[in-house]
Every structure is written in structure tokens, then in C-alpha cells.
Chains A and B, each alone.
Chain A
């Protein structure tokens, strides 16, 4: 098995194998491993203090899971809290604080049976009332919860014995995926009295909190799930500077780090004692055009711009190969029910010229607004776009603006700018967040009744084949007529020291979906 892996790595070195091929190969090697040595991963070591060096935390962070909106609060929540269900790396629903679930045929009434005998960190029992109160807090119109938007379609939440019953306004086959959202940590009495208490049912208890600096946790001895949490203690150190993060890992002061710049990932992978982990996710970088504003209300001009961008070059130069090529839709193969309903669009100067001529654009410069905060490398990406468009005779001008105020004054306001999406666990959520006429974040102002109807129809459709076909239709429409130019999907790139074993690749989010401290152990 060792030899197989070495062979794959050699092939990578010789660049004979694409990354997808490598992943397939690794899966095969992994399958062999399980056949030959079934107990390989079954016996993790216990003990030790795991130190995580994470970027994306600030002094202003709170412990309220509802307000969690950046990587450090996300990872902190994963230490002390649990949601009722999770999404596995394979995209399946996994029961956590719920034991089982069922729904009526229309997907309108959902019942989740809550696990009994689970204790909160303060020793009290976790009950169905706590779960109901949690969901009610996050769905309150006055709540500032980041999950408020995804709770919108829920008309009623009530307890029924040991079960929580959700009644939706319209059927939604994806409700369990929505309820896996990381904001929705079950807290005693829903956390209404004290949202910042950080008392949950997770694998580690909070010991000390210093926002933007350091969080300390100790093992929860009464953890209901005995298969996770192998460390005695976990520390999260906030390291926002990327260079400081990598040097902390290299000097052995931390065991895991997140958010590695693609430009240094290859170099870091060569450093001794360090393993770089990248997994292609659903996050994507975009250039967005408002389809209701001239000149972008002309589909020929939109197509001209879509043909005038060199996606392969972007993945190579902006992501250093750590990512996948986009196809002007927000969906890629990382989503369940994906089908390639439109051919991969490539850089085609002739077609770009053709559509540009057909659009009848007067030749005045088209202004693309960009800031560093739009996505890592956004300014460079805009420059590449400008050059590839110029070759097709399309005059793009780049207007670079400060990061300050970008998300309030430019994104969703100006007709053509750079942005990013973190991706969503399921297609319905991605389409309904940004491509439904009524969505707040419809940042391409793509308002089409047929697309709205397809999204809603797919949402309550329980036949998988039909649903896949419906999503394919939306994919094709957005690819051909939408306002989004999506050149690339970015990887999550994390790294850990070779002292750590048991890392599971999880495309849902960075740090193995936030569960790195739950599933790994010291080798």
C-alpha cells in the first residue's frame, strides 16, 4: 500500500496525473488499506493537548453561535457544541443530537427524535425543550442570528414527546441540510438568557476565552459520543497573519493551521514534518454582473465577457492549481445531485468577438470594480481578465477600491464587481440564496420566473432523478443567461504536523469541516 501511495505521489511530482485522478487513486489505495488492515484507523491514541493556529478571528468575536461569521468562532463552536444533524464528507445526513428523522411525503412536516441521556457541560440534561428553544431563538425576526435566513421557511416548531416537529410553509426535501447549519448549536433553554454562555454538548468544554487571542478547552468526560474527542485539551490560538501561522506550524508551536495561501501551499508541503491537506469545496470566486443594468442587461454582452475569461489560467495563477475550473454557475461536482447540464465553457476569442459584436455595445470601457477583500488574488484575477478580454477587443477597465465598505457599498450595489461565495451544503440553498427573484443576496439581479418556479419545484420534489434533472435545467439557464462569471472553485487548504493522525477530508468547510479536533489524535 505504501508503494501505491509513493507511486501516486511520484506521478503528481511528474505532473502526469490530474488532481482528480490522484483523489481517485487515493480512494482506491484507501480501499485496499481497509481490506488488508481493517483495524488501521479503529484505535486512536488518547491524550495530549492539541493546538490549533487559526486565522479569521478578532477581538470583537462573541461566543454566541448565532453571531458566528468567521473561521475562528466557527471552529470554537465546533469544540463545545453540537447540532441536531451533520452533513458527512460524502454529503449524507448524519444523526447527532437527533436520533432519527422522518417527514411526510411532501417534505412539509418533519419530525426529529431527540437523543435521550445527553448532558450539557453544566450537568443538566439536554431535553427536547432546549432544542425547540434553540430553533425558536434563531428563527425570531428580532434575532441577529446568521441562521435567520435559512429558518425563514419554517412556519412552526413544537415539541411532541421526545421529538421536535417542524412545519414548513412549503415542502423542502433539504430541511435536514439546513438544520445542520453551524449556527444552530443546541444550548440550554436555547441560549435565550445567556447566548454567550458557551455551554453545549460538544466534545470539549470551554476553560477560558480571550477573543481574538486564545481559547482553551478541556475534554468533556461525559461526552455522549465516545467515538470522538481523543485529546485531553484543545487550544485555539488566533493567528491572523498567514506567515506567522505557517511559521508557528513549522516551529512546532501549533499542530494544525487553516487558510493556507495557495501560493505557499506547495512550498509548505515540502517542509519537513508538515502535511498540507487540500479538499475541493463548494466555495467559488466570481465576477458578478447585474442583469437588470445596462450594458449587462444584454445577454450577448454577458456571453462575450464569459467567453473572454481564461478560467484555466486563473486556476493556475490565482489558485496555484489548488482549485477547480468554474462554469459560470455556482454549482460544481462537490454538490449532491450534480449533473453537467451545460458543456464546460472555455476561453474563446472568436466567440467572444462574435457576441460582443452582436451586443452592439458602443465600445465605451466597461468598469469592473475590485478590492482585495473580494477574494484572495481578486486584483490579480481582474488584471488577467482585463488582458484576456482585451485580446477579444472588449475594453475592460479595473477600478480598484479600498476593502473598507466593499461589502456594503460595492457588492450587491454596483453592476459589475468581484466577489466570492462560500458555497452551501445543498443546491437548493445555493440557488435560493442567490438566484431566486426575491432573495436579498441575488447579487446578479437575475429575476426569472421560470428559474424561481424550477427552484421551488425542485425543493419539494422527493424523487431524486427528477430533482437532479430540475437542477440541471437551472444550471443550464444560469450558465447560458445568468449574470455570474465563475472562473474558479477554490480548495480549502489546511495543514497539520505529522504528529497528528486521522485527518478526514471534508469538502463542507475548512479544518475537516471544523471537526479536526474531534476526529484526529496524536500518532
Chain B
């Protein structure tokens, strides 16, 4: 078998195994949460009678291992179950939220990834001179400010004072694509600022590393333009670390933006998860955990595979 195919197959198998292990951890984690689901659903208004009624209805009397395998079997069939709190089908409800999250993440990624790489290339081209310093300082500053504060600053100036963009990013069925884009403009701006610095710095560092190589010197001696050397000769060899950091940031855009969602009232996965955690809605928490794990593992797999494919020694074995 071609070594690349073998390597990729190994990675995929490992990913699946990891996902399986994650599902066990998620299940155990949700079982040892303090408090009682029925109590949490009813909150302060719980009476012993209504508590007993709800517990019986939720089937909380079945032992945990049985529930785990029932749950796993359900997932294999694409059935994530029903939310305990409002009886909605989880797959349907979460599908919509996941769609929203992916929409926001893609909008941010479409801007942030090319911008980060381009800025990284420019920073290397003018290394140590003012464009490099300006780019580095600004991206470091935006990455250092907590994202909720960035959000509030953006809201204050762009929504309340100038009224250019809406401070609420609520999207719902029936909005046109253009309306949705306008609605998410503020959270996209904040997310871009948050992830830009990390990716740009990594691009810059990886390329600078390659720039020490002898073949770059050769290219310089050949009289190639500096930017051509960076883009054509150095960047392809720096692609593995760059893809890695891009994927980590993409994963963050999908699973880690709950704070931005809260600030801009965006109906994404993070808010959905938090609501259900606070109500101990275990099936939803498990489903969300699994989706997040799958996204993380999946994107890291992509990074691994791209690194493998970007390595000529693996692509062209002797």
C-alpha cells in the first residue's frame, strides 16, 4: 500500500478511537455532575410531588451503563434522543444551532485565514521594519484583550454611537443571506480580531524558520524578488505548522465562542450548551460534547493529513 494512504488510514482509525474514548468520558462526566436533573428543571418551584413525577417521566431509575449503551446505539443510528427539559428532538434543535455556529465560524474564517497568512507574509517581507512592527503590535493587542471586552468596545462605538452595525446578532429562519451577513458583522469582526494574531504570528515564525535555509539563500542569489521567495519557496515548506495553527483556531471558532455568542446574543452551539448544562439536561450536554469532540478531532485530523501530504518525502517515497 502507498505509505501516504496507510498513514492517512491510521490517522482516521486513531481519530475514531479517540472519538469513542471521548464519548465514554463525556458520559462519565455528565453522570458525576452535582445535583439532580429533576430538581434543576423545576428549580425553586419544585415540590416533592412534582419532583417525583418528573423523575419517573425521565427514566432516571435505569442504571448508568445501560443508559450509556442505549445512548451509543442511538447515536450509531443518528438518533441523539430528546431533550429532557422541553422534549424537543436534539438532532433537529442542535442541527439548527450547529448550522448557525458553522455560519459564524465560516464567515470569520473566510476573512481571518487569508488575512492572517497575507499579513504573516508581509511581516516576514519587512521583518524588523515598521510594517512588521505595526502588524505585530496590533494583532498582539487584539489577541491580548479579552474577547468580551473587544465585543463591548465594538458595540459601544459601532452600534450605540455610530449605529453602523446591529449590536444584536440574532439570526432566525426567514432572513435572507444578506440580512444574516449584516446581522453577524459585529461578532465576525470580533472573532477575526481574536484569532488573527495567533495565526499571523505562527505564519511569520514558521516562514522565518525556513528563511534560514540554504535554498532560500540560493534563491536570493538567483536574484528573485523577496516576496516571490517567501510566497513560492518558503511558504510551501512552512505549511505544516501553519495548517496546524489554522485548524486549532477554526476549532476554537466552532467550540469556544460562547462568550462572543452571549455578548452579541447569537443563537449558536455555545449558548445552547450552557442553557442545557445549567438545567442538567444530560442528553443535550452529551450530544453537544460529542459534536464538539468530533469537530476538534476532525479538524486536527485534517491538519495531520495536510501535513503528511505537504511532506514531499512521504508523497514520493523511494
Asked if B244 is an interface residue, CB under 8 A from chain A, the answer is no
Our pick among A238, A251, A405 for the contact of B34 (Cβ within 8 Å) is A405
Among the stretches B83-91, B125-133, B305-313, the one at the interface with A is B83-91
Identify the closest chain A residue to B159 (Cβ).
Answer: A251
**Shortest CB distance A240–B (Å):** 7
Asked if A60 is an interface residue, CB under 8 A from chain B, the answer is yes
Asked if A411 is an interface residue, CB under 8 A from chain B, the answer is yes
Asked if A97 is an interface residue, CB under 8 A from chain B, the answer is no
Asked if B173 is an interface residue, CB under 8 A from chain A, the answer is yes
Additional A-B contact list (16), CB under 8 Å, known A60-B83, A213-B267, A407-B46: A145-B50, A146-B45, A148-B49, A208-B172, A212-B267, A237-B265, A239-B265, A241-B263, A241-B265, A243-B152, A244-B264, A248-B265, A251-B155, A253-B159, A404-B35, A408-B35
Contacts of A145 in B (CB 8 A): 50
Chain A window 439-483, contacts with chain B (Cβ cutoff 8 Å), 1 for yes, 0 for no: 010000000000000000000000000000000000000000000
Going nearest first, the 9 A-B pairs with the smallest beta carbon separation are A60-B85, A405-B35, A59-B275, A408-B39, A213-B267, A58-B275, A251-B159, A62-B86, A247-B167
Contact between B155 and A247 (Cβ–Cβ < 8 Å)?
Answer: yes
Contacts of B167 in A (CB 8 A): 244, 247-248, 251, 253
Asked if B248 is an interface residue, CB under 8 A from chain A, the answer is no
Contacts of B209 in A (CB 8 A): none
Contacts of A69 in B (CB 8 A): 42-45
- With A and B bound together, what is the CA distance between A279 and B54 in angstroms? 36
Instruction: Count residues of B near A (Cβ-Cβ below 8 Å).
Output: 48
Tally of A-B Cβ pairs under 8 angstroms: 121
List 12 A-B pairs, Cβ < 8 Å. A60-B276, A62-B85, A69-B45, A144-B42, A212-B267, A239-B265, A241-B263, A251-B167, A253-B167, A404-B35, A408-B40, A440-B47
**Chain B positions near chain A (C-beta within 8 angstroms):** 34-36, 39-50, 53-54, 83, 85-88, 93, 152, 155-156, 159-160, 163, 166-168, 170, 172-174, 262-265, 267, 271-272, 275-276, 278-279, 281
Asked if A211 is an interface residue, CB under 8 A from chain B, the answer is yes
Contact between A407 and B43 (Cβ–Cβ < 8 Å)?
Answer: yes
Interface members, chain A 23-77 (any B CB < 8 Å):
53, 58-62, 69
Category for how many chain A residues contact B: 35 or more
Contacts of A411 in B (CB 8 A): 44
**Shortest CB distance B224–A (Å):** 51
Contacts of A90 in B (CB 8 A): none
Contact between B271 and A60 (Cβ–Cβ < 8 Å)?
Answer: no
Chain A window 69-94, contacts with chain B (Cβ cutoff 8 Å), 1 for yes, 0 for no: 10000000000000000000000000
Asked if A149 is an interface residue, CB under 8 A from chain B, the answer is yes
**Shortest CB distance B148–A (Å):** 9
Contacts of B53 in A (CB 8 A): 142-144
Given A69-B43, A250-B160, A251-B159 in contact, is the A144-B263 Cβ separation under 8 Å? no
Our pick among A214, A250, A408 for the contact of B170 (Cβ within 8 Å) is A214
Contacts of A247 in B (CB 8 A): 152, 155-156, 159-160, 167
Contacts of B281 in A (CB 8 A): 60
**Shortest CB distance A50–B (Å):** 15
Contacts of A251 in B (CB 8 A): 155, 159-160, 163, 166-167
Contacts of B83 in A (CB 8 A): 60
**Shortest CB distance A372–B (Å):** 13
Given A60-B275, A208-B172, A244-B264 in contact, is the A252-B163 Cβ separation under 8 Å? yes
- With A and B bound together, what is the CA distance between A440 and B50 in angstroms? 12
Contacts of A144 in B (CB 8 A): 42, 50, 53-54
Asked if A141 is an interface residue, CB under 8 A from chain B, the answer is yes
**Shortest CB distance A172–B (Å):** 19
- With A and B bound together, what is the CA distance between A142 and B54 in angstroms? 9
Contacts of A58 in B (CB 8 A): 275, 278-279
Contacts of B271 in A (CB 8 A): 59, 212
Asked if A3 is an interface residue, CB under 8 A from chain B, the answer is no
Asked if A210 is an interface residue, CB under 8 A from chain B, the answer is yes
Our pick among A59, A148, A248 for the contact of B93 (Cβ within 8 Å) is A59
Identify the closest chain B residue to A57 (Cβ).
Answer: B275
Our pick among B46, B262, B278 for the contact of A244 (Cβ within 8 Å) is B262
Contacts of B166 in A (CB 8 A): 251, 253
- With A and B bound together, what is the CA distance between A411 and B46 in angstroms? 12
- With A and B bound together, what is the CA distance between A211 and B157 in angstroms? 30
Given A243-B152, A244-B262, A408-B40 in contact, is the A212-B50 Cβ separation under 8 Å? no
Contact between A149 and B275 (Cβ–Cβ < 8 Å)?
Answer: no
Contacts of A212 in B (CB 8 A): 267, 271-272, 275
